[in-house]
Structure 1
């Protein structure tokens, strides 16, 4: 009634069962573009770090298949590292317009995030003078941005 599988055939079936998901994952079927590390600094007009400023890279030519926007938040020294898919991974190659919002700091952790300290001056791509081209190379640095 039941046929006995030979050990070699069982090993082949098991190998195929484990290898297929690995091979499929390596084919880039998730639609993600390659990203390249991009970092920079953002300062207030008084030359102090713009702690908490949100820096967004908006593609000059958006890809409707990939709506992701590289984004970062400035740390205590004004440094930021772009994130597209995973924290600090970078941005896809291409031309970008940089938009920035700078939320009013919270007084307590329970307080909602405040309004934009820049009053929207750099919040829209058509208003921002800041541009950057991400190349297909590692560790790129955006020139320092000083906020108005």
Structure 2
């Protein structure tokens, strides 16, 4: 198993934990609803991981890195400790990966996955945000590979 697989494998496990309610105990932190849509080349896409990284290093645990994965319609709801529970106040760097069914590939080729290079920022305040829209780009052959992977994963299930 290589390091790349391990990273995506851990991400997949973290998402499964969020979806199943693992670690959904209250942490006492007030969270605010964060949701939206991710489009790749103008089309809403399934299986894009939206990861937030809080810019304040004093924020710890799940609150420092809430996460979501887009559904069939390209929609997401950010989760900290439970499905769609939101994010704590503050500024975040936003990153994206378009993961394969087995979690080993990023069909965006790392273009949006590095926090230190991300052009996307998000300010979460006391009021819930309006739904967000993120527009990403990918090479046509990478989009085709992602769609083929999703079809193969669906056929296997």
User: Please, what TM-score do these two structures have when normalized by structure 1?
Assistant: 0.68
Measure the CA separation in 1 of the matches of 2:66 and 2:135. 20
User: Could you say which residue in structure 2 is the equivalent of 1:146?
Assistant: 135
Measure the CA separation in 1 of the matches of 2:56 and 2:121. 13
Measure the CA separation in 2 of the matches of 1:122 and 1:136. 27
Runs of at least 5 residues in structure 2 that lack an aligned partner in the other structure: 1-25, 138-157
Measure the CA separation in 2 of the matches of 1:76 and 1:97. 24
User: Could you say which residue in structure 1 is the equivalent of 2:61?
Assistant: 67
The equivalent position to 2:120 in structure 1, one of 115, 130, 133, is 130
User: Could you say which residue in structure 1 is the equivalent of 2:91?
Assistant: 95
The equivalent position to 1:114 in structure 2, one of 104, 118, 121, is 104
SS at match of 1:144: strand
Measure the CA separation in 2 of the matches of 1:62 and 1:100. 21
Deviant stretches of 4+, over 2 Å? none
Runs of at least 5 residues in structure 1 that lack an aligned partner in the other structure: 1-29, 107-111
Measure the CA separation in 1 of the matches of 2:116 and 2:87. 20
Measure the CA separation in 1 of the matches of 2:31 and 2:112. 25
* Partner deviation per Cα, 1:31-85 (whole Å, 9 max, x = no partner): 542101110110011x221210000111112225x22111000011111000001
Q: 2:91, 2:122 within 8 Å by CA — same for their partners in 1?
A: yes
Question: RMSD of the alignment, in Å?
Answer: 1.6
Q: Report 1:77-88 matches (<5 A).
A: 77-88=73-84
Which structure dedicates a bigger proportion of its chain to helix?
A: 2
- Structure of higher CA gyration radius: 1
* Partner deviation per Cα, 1:81-135 (whole Å, 9 max, x = no partner): 000011100000000010111113x3xxxxx223000111111111111111000
